[in-house]
Structure 1
Amino acid sequence: MSEPDCQSSPSVDPSGVPFTELDPELLRAQRTSLKWTRFPADVLPLFVAEMDFAVAPEIREAIIARVEASDTGYLDGPGPLAPAFAEFAAAAWDWHVPTEHVYLATDVATGVVESLRIAWELRRADAAAGGAPASGRIVVPTPVYPGFFEMLEEVPYEIVEVPLREADAAGAEAGAGAASGTGAGAPVPGEGPELRLDLAAIADAFAAGADAFLLCNPHNPHGLVHTAAELGELARLAEQYGVFAVSDEIHAPLTHAGERFVPFAPLAAAAGALAVVATSASKGWNLAGAKCSVIVAADERANAALQHLPPETVTRASILGLHAGVAAFTSGREWLARAIGQIEANTALLAELVAAQLPGVRLVRPRAGYLAWLDFREAGLGEDPYARILTEARVALNDGAFFGAGGAGHVRLNLACAPDTIRAAVSRIAAILPTGKGSR
């Protein structure tokens, strides 16, 4: 199979910057984030979830305007970000968010942690009043974003990992009986099986005693888009067992064409489950360093709970990040659509490159986001493919071992870059694979 040239892909990024200007050597000289400083100059960095694409002009102008106005003080609430997010959620997902249900936080990690602190205190208070005792457990589907484990070190929960499971041949999620939005047809060369939430195992974990559940929606690192049926059943289980659910929906704006993202909050509200959503513009528009996110209450009960957030949750958020988020949600939708289109083209490119050049490797195609999950267990690089790829191929990926149960032997690769960067990474990795190992 010849290498694909991805002719349908444009020669510029979503901001109109030529891909030649996104050469890693040039970016390393211009940017100072950890993506470009953590590893030596000969290492190709495709690990952290940070885009190489230039920031949307609308966002850049919004930030500059605030600086020119010397508007760099403290925040006291979400202000214009609440209606901006609510309008975007309604247009993109048919999720109608009351603006008074929107709260501010520094970033999604802060929103998750502070929400779980509140849930812990509510459970303790309930137990003290004669209710069911707290179990101290939080259920987390894995493999999942490693930051979840770091976040949860800040709260007094014992983590119960529930691995994702393979979808059956019809693409139905076991335990839900619902058809998947993506399906799981015949295996494609070079591609791994579709994975889904294991609702039966989650139900067992709830029944054994759980106070909270942390959902990644869409799921990172697989780019998995959960179905309405799956999320509805999850909400029903959370209500049945009195489990507080936090849904991290940071990758939702990056849902690919033909896929349907389903917010968890409306389903939780319909089921009577106590739940909140933590999200921001930071992944969709590459604004992680702007430090501003929102926490959204699913219903009035959750809204009452979030009123116990400490004041610092708001004041530590960035006013520049707030205005960047407003610009993203209101004026950055065309840029987002172009970014998704390029990510989809890069995903197709990677799939063809894996099939042609990486025998024994299997790719899980993302249905949302720009992170690709690669299974190297049969590629001949041993038990630690991440280390071999870093030290021998000089490509920095994310080590699947840190994503929890089911992650060992896998790596995560960032697709939000120029196509030639992906080609270079695959070429370097192909050069260290054992000759003929697992060839197809």
Structure 2
Amino acid sequence: MTTLSAGPAAKAGRELPRPAEQRWPGLATAPHSPVRAWVAERLFRHAVRDLPVRVLLAGGERLGAGGPGTPVMRVLRPRDFFHRLGADAKIGFGESYMAGDWTASELADLLTPFAARMSRLIPKPLQALRHWVERTQPVAEKNTVDGARENIHRHYDLSNELFSLFLDPSMTYSAAWFAADGEDLELAQHRKIDGILDYAGVGQGTRLLEIGTGWGALAIRAAQRGAEVTSLTISPEQKQLAEQRIAAAGLSERITVRLQDYRQAEGGYDAVVSVEMIEAVGREFWPVYFSTLNRLTRPGGRVAIQAITMPHDRMLATAAGYTWIHKYIFPGGICPSLESIGRNVREDTELTGAGRRPLGPHYARTLRLWRERFLANWPRVEQLGFDRTFRRMWEFYLAYSEAGFRSGYLNVWQIALSRKG
């Protein structure tokens, strides 16, 4: 795969254009923090000294333990790179890529060793200082009813056409489930959806609630099984396109899409499903989320969720932190751990576990395919009004996420629950 970062300028070590100030205020100019930059440089050198990567600094210095064939990171503007890391490492590393301070021969390959050692990149004695120096998530991005609507708007309402240019024809924006190498992504997405619907026992006559419509693929699949579907979204853009797709499938009489927060839903359903929506709920609202699932499920009914997870200790250590992903991709987001899901189910519901399956490696493959499609379709994305800095931001997001699943730092689970009858 050919990426922007592997182009002629990167291979020659030439600097990339800086972000446009009018679109990305303040991003082109790195912060000035000499003491923090000095500390950040030494921590970075310590972190990469035994990583299987090659880091090439402008001027010819080489870092890392990688040999020939290992991924290459070219730091084109070392001064800017280390000052950004010093100012805020959790945001500066990604911003530095967006700004063109560094590039890579293959981005996901480079980021995977970093992700595999995420908990050990900073020496333990210094990790205790984290809470004194790192930024916390802004109050404005808390997932209250109004806050959640604004957070979702910033990502999912970017452009339906943008998402269509890298997703498969089903417009499914979550992990697929592959059965074989080389399998078509759309087929793998249908298998994932069928897996969730099977866990929820969805069939002829099922009264189904979906929390998080996406662009309608799961609702359509459920209606084709004979279910009566109510689907909730807080994205006007998604609602509009989902209803168009539902009408085109001839299923408008079986599916109702509501612009409504899950906390405001009423009624009782035979089954409730929610695919990769819990990550946008916010930790303080998990009890409300699970109690809502319980409240909306009739006695004897079923719940099926798909959730991205991280190790419990890492979730606890990073729960309050404000990261590059929060600032640029998913404001207010946090991935739960399996332990936290289990605790909330026990404490806030009458639900009991009925099965679960991991799909982590499948998500890594899904993200790789999305990134390949995004980059291959870049000329069409650019015609929508997105610039080169957005391209680097989106490429970093997809590669960063892929690295998380490839390394095992992240996982994704389909989880079946049943309510006592």
TM-score higher than 0.5: no
Structure with more helix by fraction = 2
With the length of structure 2 as denominator, give the TM-score of the two structures. Answer: 0.31
Bigger relative contact order (CA 8 A; separation at least 6): 1
